[in-house]
Amino acid sequence: MLNFLIYLAIGRIIIWFTQITDWIVLLAEKTSLTKKLVKCDLCLGVWVYLFLWFIIPQPLNTQVPIFEPLFVALVSSLMMHLLRIGWTYKFGVLTE
């Protein structure tokens, strides 16, 4: 369980640094697809957690192990995205 929490924390830190880094934003401005990918927590999270799964594997012991990395990446990205939305809603500054 601790291994999975470390996996989630490292992934969220990578997503956060990716979104605030200027050179990635400059790279993302060249094409609309990469610009959308960098700005979207959920989209970027899938790729970050998929890459991170190969460094810190999170085994599920499923019957189809080929889809295991993708499934873990999708679920992890969704969990962290929803957690970030809730944190922003509760503690963030809302302007209208």
Alpha carbon distance 18, 25 (integer Å): 8
Alpha carbon distance 18, 27 (integer Å): 11
Q: What is the pLDDT of residue 74?
A: 92
Task: Assign 54 to helix, strand or coil.
Answer: helix
Amino acid at site 44: L
Q: What is the pLDDT of residue 79?
A: 92
Helix (H), strand (E) counts: the chain: 5, 0
Has this prediction a pTM greater than 0.85? Answer: no
Q: What is the pLDDT of residue 85?
A: 87
Contacting residues for 53 by C-beta, under 8 A, at least 6 apart: 7, 69, 72, 73
CB atoms within 10 A of CB 7: 19
- The pLDDT tens digits of the residues spanning 26-83 come to 665 666 677 777 778 888 899 999 999 999 888 777 777 788 888 889 999 999 989 8
**Model confidence at 21: pLDDT above 80:** no
Q: What is the pLDDT of residue 88?
A: 81
